[in-house]
Structure 1
Amino acid sequence: MGKRKATPVANEAELQQSNAGERKAAKQPKLATEASGFKNKEKVLLLSSRGITHRSRHLMLDLAQLLPHCKRDSKLDTKTDRGIINEVADMKGCSSVLFFESRKRKDLYIWLARAPDGPSIKFHCANVHTMAELKLSGNHLKGSRPVLSFDASFDQQPHLQLMKEMFTQSFATPRRHPKSKPFHDHVISFHFLDNRIWLRNYQA
């Protein structure tokens, strides 16, 4: 009967150490990708009521192009309870809401709210100029991140400070968002004048 040769213990220890080293090397790229991944999950729900005019609809479409992190939904009936907006925002994973409400097909009101517990702000929209009406419009990339510019008045009064924070959370595209481009080629400005807030988009 032939005798079996025993495998050296030293070789087994070397194999185990090499396997452990390969596992550590394989885990390192995963940790690097996790550190540089997309973390800010801020999303904005964009929807409107029934009966909005074509100008209001074009304004909403322009905002959808400026906000790559927004989620659109179908129109709501004017008689529907407003509490259902929180349910829609919860289903789509949105933390902010931009709701376009039309009354008598003339007046347009824009609700900006944090879902589901608020706060909420109601604006009466006036002096609307859509992108289709402008001449010499820029050609910024779709999905590029904007630079937000605020007037100095937003730091002087408490309610304007709250508006500034809500505007920042809603209009600032999160960094490394899957639908965004890593470029800054347009500026969204907010100015407070004559008890009104003027919103403008400047393109490169």
Structure 2
Amino acid sequence: MAAVYKSISKQKSSAPNGKEETDNKPKNKQRVLILTSRGVTYRHRHLLGDLNALLPHSRKDAKLDTKTQLHQLNELADLYNCNNVMFFEARKGKDLYIWLSKPPNGPTVKMHCQNIHTMEELNFTGNCLKGSRPILSFDAAFDKQAHTKVIKELLTHTFGVPASSRKVKPFVDHVMGFTMADGKIWIRCYQIAETEASKNGKAENEENTQEPSIVAPKSGKGETNVSLVEIGPRFVLTPIVILEGSFGGPVIYENKEFVSPNQIRSDLRKSKAGRYNKRADGIMERKAKKSDLGLRTGATHEVDELDDRVLFA
């Protein structure tokens, strides 16, 4: 009881005018549920593991057996006390779709994931502390359209680690960049590398990076070079549809320019079949022409009465 009284008295003494501080600032309480469907490949599993390691406020769950009744994810999120869901849906063992949702009221965005490169296969030199908070860097193109603003808000809630999370560490040592180009969202992750500059103006341990270094003054120790070193993973997201509810509800945005990978594969098969059909038709036409001219072995050619061989026999 004495310890409780002492802590309360410290709070009162630190407050201005002896009054208790009132927290008018809203607390950022975000928790993400990450899970996959059946049929994911090893690359999809490694990407999920990388994202789970980068997000200390996430909770990884077992695979979901169904791909049609996605409303069950709302019950799972409520069960695990999560207000964000990141669902990896695999189709035909090739295609990966990522759902980002805010249960129980929504909205929900479905995106097609391409160009996946995990941390293990990239082997970048950068590294960050596990459990640290990232700086989210968004492209200015996210604020130009209504649907990109919704996507930016969902990405912020999903990848933005709150300071009050249980597993978070009080460090900010990496940056997550979200760039909008060609109607796709390009996601990269960089480590913030800080090195002390020498007397000659060069860093003692210079990192091999393509990013421009930023010189920032440091009190008492001269200047320091701050650079960004990529650590992975890399992947590209193409927005497909935005739903008003959580894994359901009316469609509020649809990407008309998106072509499903199934349609692309079907068009490729049809183009190959068309080339074969043209080749087969050409072969049949040549055979018919040769048979008409009597050039084929065993083919009988009818001799006309006005033929030169009959008239001048």
Q: TM-score range, shorter-chain basis?
A: 0.7 to 0.9
Whole-angstrom distance in 1 between the partners of 2:186 and 2:72: 30
Amino acid in structure 2 at the alignment position of 1:28: S
Q: 1:126 aligns with which of 93, 114, 117?
A: 114
Matched position secondary structure for 1:127? strand
**CA deviation vs aligned residue, 1:34-62 (integer Å, no higher than 9, x gap):** 979xx532100100001100000000000
Whole-angstrom distance in 1 between the partners of 2:7 and 2:59: 37
Scaled by the length of structure 1, what TM-score is found? 0.82
Q: How large is the Cα RMSD of the aligned pairs?
A: 2.2
Amino acid in structure 2 at the alignment position of 1:69: H
- Cα 1:183/1:23, change in 2 over 3 Å: closer
Matched position secondary structure for 2:117? coil
Q: Please give the residue correspondences for 1:99-138 in structure 2 after superposition, counting only pairs within 5 Å.
A: 99-138=87-126
Scaled by the length of structure 2, what TM-score is found? 0.54
Q: Does the 8 A contact of 1:131 with 1:137 survive in 2?
A: no
Q: CA deviation at 1:29?
A: 4.0
Which runs of 5 or more structure 1 residues have no equivalent in the other structure? 1-21
Whole-angstrom distance in 1 between the partners of 2:141 and 2:172: 25
Matched position secondary structure for 2:133? coil
1:176 paired to 2:133: no
Matched position secondary structure for 2:154? helix
Q: 2:79 aligns with which of 81, 84, 91?
A: 91
**CA deviation vs aligned residue, 1:16-41 (integer Å, no higher than 9, x gap):** xxxxxx98645224678x979xx532
Q: CA deviation at 1:154?
A: 0.5
1:42 aligned partner: 30
Whole-angstrom distance in 1 between the partners of 2:76 and 2:120: 30
Matched position secondary structure for 1:146? strand
**CA deviation vs aligned residue, 1:146-194 (integer Å, no higher than 9, x gap):** 0000001001111111111111111110013220111111100101101
Matched position secondary structure for 1:153? helix
Whole-angstrom distance in 1 between the partners of 2:110 and 2:160: 20
- What is the identity percentage for the equivalent residue pairs of Structure 1 and Structure 2? 52
1:61 paired to 2:49: yes
Amino acid in structure 2 at the alignment position of 1:95: N
Q: Does the 8 A contact of 1:50 with 1:76 survive in 2?
A: yes
* Higher mean C-alpha deviation, range 67-76 or range 132-141: 132-141
Q: CA deviation at 1:139?
A: 1.6
Q: Does the 8 A contact of 2:29 with 2:164 survive in 1?
A: no
Q: Does the 8 A contact of 1:137 with 1:203 survive in 2?
A: no
Q: Which has the higher contact order (CA 8 A, sep 6+)?
A: 1
Matched position secondary structure for 2:153? helix
Q: CA deviation at 1:68?
A: 0.4
Count of residue pairs brought into register by the alignment = 180
1:139 paired to 2:127: yes
Whole-angstrom distance in 2 between the partners of 1:163 and 1:23: 44
1:200 paired to 2:181: no
